[in-house]
Structure 1
Amino acid sequence: MELTPGVVFSVGVLFQDGTALPPVTAFGLIADALEAAGDGAAAAAWRAQLATLGGPARRFVAVRHDGGALGAAAGFDLELRRDADGVAVATASVNAGADGDLEPAAAASPVGSLFAPPPEPTPTPARWPPLPIRGRPRPSPFATFLEQVELADDALLVPPIPGELRALRRLVRAERAQGERGRDELVFHVYELPPRVDPTVTNRAPRVATLVPGDRLPESYAALGPDELGLFDERNRPLLPPAPLPGPPPYADVPVVILGSGDELRALVIPVGPSGDHAPFEAGVHRLRFAIDRARWRSETADDVSRYRAASTRVVSW
Structure 2
Amino acid sequence: MNENIRIAGLTALALLIGTTAVHAQVGTLTGTRQIEDRIEDVEDDVQDDLEEAEDPYRFGNPEFRPGFSGSASLGYSGTDGNTEEQNLTIGARLRHAQGPFVQNLGVVLDYSETDGDSDQEDIFMVYEGNYYFNESFYAFVLGRAEFNGLADDPDASGELAGVPLADRVKTDGFIGIGPGYRVVNRQDMTWRVQAGVGLSYLEFGDDRDETETGYIASSRFYYRFNENVFLTNDTDVLNSDEALRVNNDFGVNFKMTDAFSTRVSYLTDYNEAREIRTDNKLGVSLVYGF
* TM bracket (short chain): under 0.3
TM-score calculated relative to the size of structure 1: 0.22
Higher strand share: 2
Structure having the higher Rg: 1
TM-score calculated relative to the size of structure 2: 0.24
